Chain A
Amino acid sequence: MRSLDRIPGVRRLQSVGSDDSVFDMLILSGILLLGIVALFGRSLVTETAAIAYLLFFFSYTPYKYLVR
């Protein structure tokens, strides 16, 4: 994420969130994923990527809770 800091807006995004770079990454990667879906449509690859994204999204908070 350090190199991403140089992209305009990303540092600002990181500064306003939950102080967790993983969630910041989830916003950015989610927008990127939706961009890819808009360009290439529904396919096995995009659906697999979407499932992986959601699995990560919904398991990250329980993970944080368990390792707390």
Chain B
Amino acid sequence: MQENSIREKKSSSTKQYSTFYIGERLYGIDVMQVQEVTRTLPITRIPLSPNYVKGLINLRGQIATAIGLRNLFELSDAANETQMNVVCRMDGVLLSFLVDKIGDVVEVDESSFEPPPDTIPESVKRFMHGVYKTAGPILSIIEVDKITTALNKKNGN
């Protein structure tokens, strides 16, 4: 209901992003790509997997692979104990991104968009679509596609 009303209001020049925090940094994923946001769920570790693969999560009978964005972005590992899940479905595969804190769904104006500045470390930049200069902190947009391709590439598949 609420989503519908938002969509009606939405003009062609704005986009909606589901935002979350890793540390103090604000990130966003296109709201249409996010299936749901859940609180901390028990994780089954996968021995021998890369460090950013945190394990498997039972999401109402579906198995989602948990990806630690903090590790993937190679940020310092001051891991928050309670991690929230941002669950995205890509090509039928469930990925759950572990983040520190969930933010709002924000609507941003296309005019405030800019491609990622050059000085951003490559470890994060390669997943970024760009940034929005919002009234609050600057919002970095993460592309799930880029993450899945990077993941697949890393493992030679």
A binds B: no
A-binding residues in B (CB < 8 A): none
